[in-house]
Amino acid sequence: MLPAKNLPAENPRISPWLIRTEAEKPLSYQLLTSNVRELAPAVDALHKLQADAIDLNMGCPAPAVGKLGAGFRLMEQPDTARSIVAEARHRTTLPLTVKIRLGAELDEAKLKSFCTMLQDEGIDMLSVHARLKNESFARKPRWEWIAKVKEWMRVPVIVNGGIFTVQDAENCLHVSGADGLMLGRGAVIKPWLFADIARDIYGSSLARSAVSLPAMYCKFVDLLSEFFPPERRLGRLKEFTHYFAKNYKFGHRLAMRVQSSPTVDAVRDRAALFFERNRENS
């Protein structure tokens, strides 16, 4: 998520949120805002960045985001949401998409009204996280509700939530009837999941090399050092490790050791020791 208020001041040459590689194309940038006046300069900045699409976040349930009136709060303020989408649509001819959740509670009429409003204001695609606002990740996603959304919409509908394996992806598409998939935590745990789904479900000829978990982890640390400022590296590494460690039977030990590490170098040393002791899973 890119806060629309801060985006125009970001330097794309050094900002870890804006740096992109040649391989990252097409690339959509997700904006977070509750203020329609922030859209014009933010969209202009994205045009200068040669964005391929623009997404508006109306689904994040985080309390800090809610206090700003953004994310999921916009689903509770449909008039504000409408004005934001209308302004974004006015400011760009790029594909315009929106990310939402199912709602605060299961209310079919309310959800339909919000989704069709977004469509009427000109969005090109809708992504839906198949959980309610306060439902934890432990709760099984309600993929069947995406099938309802599909019935209401003329634009493509993308399903998000609970996709960690190719089998999950197949089941999700079967139940939801969605036009595509959005991966979240599953892709952080297993970054190669994109390639597996593309090959096994969509018939892509894309081949991936054998996965070495230690090598992948070390590569991530190297990329952090290359693209992130020193003060942001350790926190981001701890966050990533929380998910990546789930690839190991006793991954909680890796996560705990990294969480207590005072420096990135300490993380490297502790991770190397863990990988050495868990070769059978690497």
CA neighbours closer than 13 Å in the CB half-sphere of residue 59:
23
The CA distance from 180 to 168, in Å, is: 13
The pair phi, psi for residue 79, each rounded to 5°, is -65, -40
Helices (H), 92-212: 108-120, 143-152, 166-176, 185-189, 193-200
| Signed CA dihedral, 46, 239, 103, 37: sign only | negative
Element (H, E) at 125: strand 125-132
CA–CA dist 123, 116 (Å, integer): 10
Taking alpha carbons only, the member of 78, 63, 72 closest to residue 32 is 72
Do 236 and 224 touch, CB atoms closer than 8 A? yes
Beta-carbon contacts of 269 under 8 Å, excluding residues fewer than 6 positions away, are: none
Structure tokens at 151: 């019935």
Helices (H), the chain: 39-48, 63-67, 78-91, 108-120, 143-152, 166-176, 185-189, 193-200, 213-227, 230-244, 251-259, 264-277
Is position 172 annotated as part of the catalytic site? no
Q: Considering the candidates 60, 115, 172, 218, report the single residue annotated as catalytic.
A: 60
SS3 (DSSP) at 12 = coil
The catalytic residues are 60
